[in-house]
Structure 1
Amino acid sequence: MVLITKTRYEYFQEYLNLLDKVEEGIAVVDWSYQEKNYHSGDKILQDLFEALGPFKKSIHTMQYLFSYDKKMEEHLNNFQLIEQQVSHLRVIFHNEEEKTRFIHEFFSPAYKKWKKQVCRQLLVYIKN
């Protein structure tokens, strides 16, 4: 069993909440595009891009805190795959239907998979 401090426990809880908020944002973007409300989807997507800066910093903090846990560190490193997908959104898609398909079929599922892996590993520490 791994014991963590109260401060780390609270940080991990906040991190889980942050992961949920990002997922909610992606879901709203996905829904907006599915409903062909591209203007709202683009605005929310832009907000998500801006939020990824601080989110990336939190990833670095988590990597530091879990430097002893190779499995967790690997999951956190996989965030780079999500970042690569986000960069595709910014430069590749000029067609709204292609962007919609990319968000719905690739970006959203990739984030959900990554989040599930990180949460599963993180919950081991929180539940102890």
Structure 2
Amino acid sequence: MSPGGRQETLPYGRCCGRWHQGPTRLQAPDAESLMRSRYSAYVLGLHDYLLDTWHPDTRPATLAPDEPGLRWLGLEVRRHEPRDDDHAMVEFVARCKLGGRAQRLHECSRFERNALGQWLYLDGQFRD
């Protein structure tokens, strides 16, 4: 967070790009970093990355294409709570616009670190 309580905006390469490609692909250091990289992957349409960072027990076989006209507007991470060395929860709000209507997705997501040390999205519960 920056002074004044605002979340700092980092350039793509320093924030999420390094987890999407190259030698550090799939190596987000914690659940919050993985959450941010997954949001960016949704924005950029990186479906392979989304599937690769989804826990195999809950991962869908494929991802449906985005709705035509869907535009992501921003991500606010509200909480990151490590539960132990290999489990964490991230609460976030993602905002988007579809068909001219603003929408928000508020979720508490669970993450688990696998035997290779990679954080994976396990599942989430929607909030009002």
Q: Which has the higher helix share?
A: 1
| Higher strand residue share | 2
Q: Relative contact order (alpha carbons < 8 A, sep ≥ 6): 1 or 2 greater?
A: 1
Query: TM tier, shorter chain?
Result: under 0.3
Question: How high is the TM-score relative to the length of structure 2?
Answer: 0.25
Name which one, 1 or 2, has greater alpha-carbon Rg.
Answer: 1
Give TM-score scaled by structure 1 length: 0.25
